[in-house]
Amino acid sequence: MSIKKRGLLATVGATMAAAALVLSGSAAANAATLPVPTQSTVTITKLSQPTTLGAAANGTQQSLPSGSSPIAGVTFDYYLVTNTAAGQSSDIGTQTGQVYVSGLTATTAPVPTTPTGSFDQTAATTGQTTKVLPRGLYVVRESTTPAGVTPAAPFLLAVPLTDPVNRDAWLSTIYVYPKNAQVGATKTVGTESLVVGGDVTWTISADIPRNANPAGTPAFIAPDAFEIQDTLTDAELKLSTTASPAITVKAGSTTLAVGTHYTVTPVTGAGTTTQQIVFTAAGRAALATAINADANAKVTVALVTTVQKAAEISNTAKVFPDAVSKTNNKPIVTPSVSTKYGTYLLNKKSSDATLNDLSGAQFRVYTSEASAIAGGNDYLTTSTNAGGLWTTAANGQVSVGGLRYSGWVNGSTVAAGQPGYQTYWLVEVKALAGHQLLAAPVSFTVDANSAAQTAQTITNQKTTGGFVLPLTGGSGVVLFTVFGIVILAAVLIVARLRRRSVTEQ
């Protein structure tokens, strides 16, 4: 076997994942005769795609590219290209075979419908899997890919392969480095209304796939599909009808246009509605433009929803970064994030312990002590209490419901005094019959336990049966007025009697 003949087997060209090993027509300088191996060891190292495209692989062992890391759990199937095995009509170790395979690609090469064999899943620490393959040309395809990893394109693998450095020898082990775009996604809570019936903004942020161009150009290409799904429980959340727009989509810093770059389709289920955001070809091209302009660019989707009930509402989103993930229903699922709304149990009491009917007292709720003291129209209302009045029942209780948790802000816990922590203030606007109004606002907080709390009570002073300082316009004013008139009359009578006594003398 001449060096020229081996040289036709040597060069490894890049495909979509910069890892397709194909045949070359280059020749070595000096002729020699070596037997063509009947098999070779093949080691595949699965890596994440770094922010920049690297050079094409050549079959030799390479250092780990900067910004790249091993990917575990990937399985590769290999398919022997028809008639390219040792002894067959297009044996890759013969001149006839070299001519035959020189014009093939991973998509045009004729292969059986079922795999010839498979590599074991790549290891967690190294991303590697190794197999000894008989002589031939193979199409290698990923058959198992973890969620959040975009499969590399199928590639051609020539066995054996000439050493590209020492072209008088064959590679003892062929190293292949297919790279995958790893995609992660998160969901966060942004602006939150303080009341049920108000709006909450959720933001989904996902990596843009770094898909290498099979043509070898130094730029990432658009994914073959991209879709984001957000499922809302109808009893808890509905897409806002007042926000404009209710859904905003960006590629990096560029705002995309609905109908041009993406479509939104609501899909109803059993008590749920899923907003399906599907990127068009123009939208996917915008993703590629964004990631080529900024290696850290992400795709973001902001949804404005209206809160329907007082509850701890958790939500996730799904991201399908390519066609395979959609076909196999293997999306990236964001970690769950929550917004929390609850109730405060108001416990009203009277200074008269014998009073059984405590109904009729009315309260409003304010977000600050200053607003509560001012008693203006900036009190809180909810979708279930549009008037913003909470009235006690006979037992003196009323549930002040539909308020955001005091110590839960934008998906996480905050302590009193920290930004976002919310203390609420009760103002009594109508007292119990025969009782005084509360002299000052009362503060309270809402959490998981406040709907049943009994430790905090509000007691009103009864105005009959004992001395009570009167309120302006109250019955005490009339009482003092009567006493004043009587005293004044007595003084006048005494003065008149004294004047008459002096006159008679």
449: CB partners within 8 A, 6+ apart: none
What's phi and psi for 67, nearest 5 deg? 85, 5
| Whether 492 contacts 500, CB under 8 Å | no
Overall average pLDDT of the 170-196 stretch:
90
At 14 the pLDDT is 35
Overall average pLDDT of the 356-362 stretch:
94
| Whether 185 contacts 34, CB under 8 Å | no
Please give the distance of CA 400 from its chain centroid, rounded to a whole number.
31
Local confidence band at 56 (pLDDT 50, 70, 90 cut-offs): low
| Whether 86 contacts 133, CB under 8 Å | no
At 9 the pLDDT is 37
| CA–CA separation, 316 and 230 (whole Å) | 7
| CA–CA separation, 16 and 12 (whole Å) | 13
Question: Quick check: 453 pLDDT over 90?
Answer: yes
**Which of 424 and 55 is assigned the larger pLDDT?**
424
Question: Quick check: 489 pLDDT over 80?
Answer: no
At 53 the pLDDT is 63
Give pLDDT tens digits for 8-44: 333 333 333 333 344 433 333 333 457 889 999 999 9
Local confidence band at 168 (pLDDT 50, 70, 90 cut-offs): confident
366: CB partners within 8 A, 6+ apart: 372, 378, 379, 380, 424, 425, 427, 441
3-state helix, strand, coil in the chain (%, to 5): 15, 35, 50
| CA–CA separation, 357 and 257 (whole Å) | 60
The secondary structure of residue 368, as a DSSP letter, is S
Question: Quick check: 7 pLDDT over 60?
Answer: no
Question: Quick check: 505 pLDDT over 80?
Answer: no
Question: Quick check: 200 pLDDT over 60?
Answer: yes
| CA–CA separation, 436 and 440 (whole Å) | 12
Give pLDDT tens digits for 364-399: 999 999 999 999 999 999 999 999 999 999 999 999
Question: Quick check: 361 pLDDT over 90?
Answer: yes
Local confidence band at 64 (pLDDT 50, 70, 90 cut-offs): confident
Overall average pLDDT of the 181-204 stretch:
93
At 18 the pLDDT is 33
Local confidence band at 497 (pLDDT 50, 70, 90 cut-offs): low
At 268 the pLDDT is 96
The two structure tokens encoding residue 14: 């890049």
Query: Of 468, 447, 434, 470, which is closest to residue 355 (Cα–Cα)?
Result: 434
Question: Quick check: 309 pLDDT over 70?
Answer: yes
At 462 the pLDDT is 85
| CA–CA separation, 40 and 169 (whole Å) | 13
Lowest mean pLDDT among 118-127, 254-263, 495-504: 495-504
| Whether 66 contacts 31, CB under 8 Å | no
Q: By three-state DSSP, how is residue 480 classified?
A: helix
Local confidence band at 149 (pLDDT 50, 70, 90 cut-offs): confident
| Whether 406 contacts 333, CB under 8 Å | no
Give pLDDT tens digits for 86-98: 999 999 988 899 8
| CA–CA separation, 299 and 228 (whole Å) | 10
Cα 290 to Cα 42, 246, 261, 300, distances in angstroms: 36, 23, 13, 12
At 487 the pLDDT is 58
What's phi and psi for 58, nearest 5 deg? -130, 10
At 20 the pLDDT is 37
Query: Of 50, 60, 19, which is closest to residue 295 (Cα–Cα)?
Result: 50
> What percent of the chain stands above pLDDT 70?
83
Lowest mean pLDDT among 77-81, 148-152, 230-234, 422-426: 148-152
The secondary structure of residue 30, as a DSSP letter, is S
Question: Quick check: 493 pLDDT over 90?
Answer: no
The secondary structure of residue 489, as a DSSP letter, is H
Q: Which helix (H) or strand (E) holds 284?
A: helix 281-293
Mean pLDDT, the chain, integer: 85
Largest CA distance in the chain: 163
At 498 the pLDDT is 60
Q: Where are any strands of DSSP class E within 252-336?
A: 254-255, 262-268, 272-279, 298-307, 312-315, 317-320, 332-333
| Whether 425 contacts 365, CB under 8 Å | yes
**Which of 474 and 308 is assigned the larger pLDDT?**
308
Give pLDDT tens digits for 414-451: 999 999 999 999 999 999 988 999 989 999 999 999 99
